Amino acid sequence: MQEKNANAEALASAAVTVSGKVQGVYYRKFAQENAVRLGLAGFARNLPDGRVEVVAEGQHADVEKLIILLRQGPAFARVEDVDVRWTSPSGAFRDFSIKR
């Protein structure tokens, strides 16, 4: 039990690429609002190929919660695929922003 709690509290970083109908449907704002609520830092941005990239850093358990929410997306989105790459936290982010 102790190990599980330590893992949940460890800092983590995930680079998430989301495909489907995820641009023009409030997806980046949805990601930002949920990341801020969870106390995460990072960014969300549209990619030229129609996907959205989300990079989030913070407590491992909170990053996992965000990924669950990203799989659902906002009401008008249609999420088809979510690719998650776990990376080492960079500590480079102070807040969660929407990149243009």
Is 5 an active-site residue?
no
What's this model's pTM, rounded to 2 decimal places?
0.91
More confident residue, 9 or 18: 18
d(CA 88, CA 13): 6
Query: Which of 42, 20, 46 shows the shortest CA–CA distance to 97?
Result: 42
Point out the catalytic residue in the list 7, 28, 34, 94.
28
Distance of CA 52 to the CA centre of its chain: 10
28 is annotated as an active-site residue? yes
**The pLDDT value given to residue 5:** 57
Which one of 34, 37, 46, 94 is the catalytic residue?
Answer: 46
Name the token pair of 58.
């913070």
Determine the average pLDDT of the residues in 41-51.
Answer: 98
Q: H helices within the chain, ranges in order?
A: 2-9, 27-37, 60-72
Q: Which CATH number fits domain 8-99: 3.40.50.10470, 3.40.50.1000, 3.20.20.150, 3.30.70.100?
A: 3.30.70.100
Q: Decide: 53 and 15 in contact? Cβ < 8 Å.
A: yes
CA-wise closest residue to 86 among 62, 55, 41: 55
DSSP secondary structure code for residue 39 in this structure: T
pLDDT, averaged across the chain: 94
Q: Where are the domains of the chain?
A: 8-99
Q: What is the pLDDT of residues 51-85, one digit of tens each?
A: 999 999 999 999 999 999 999 999 999 999 999 99
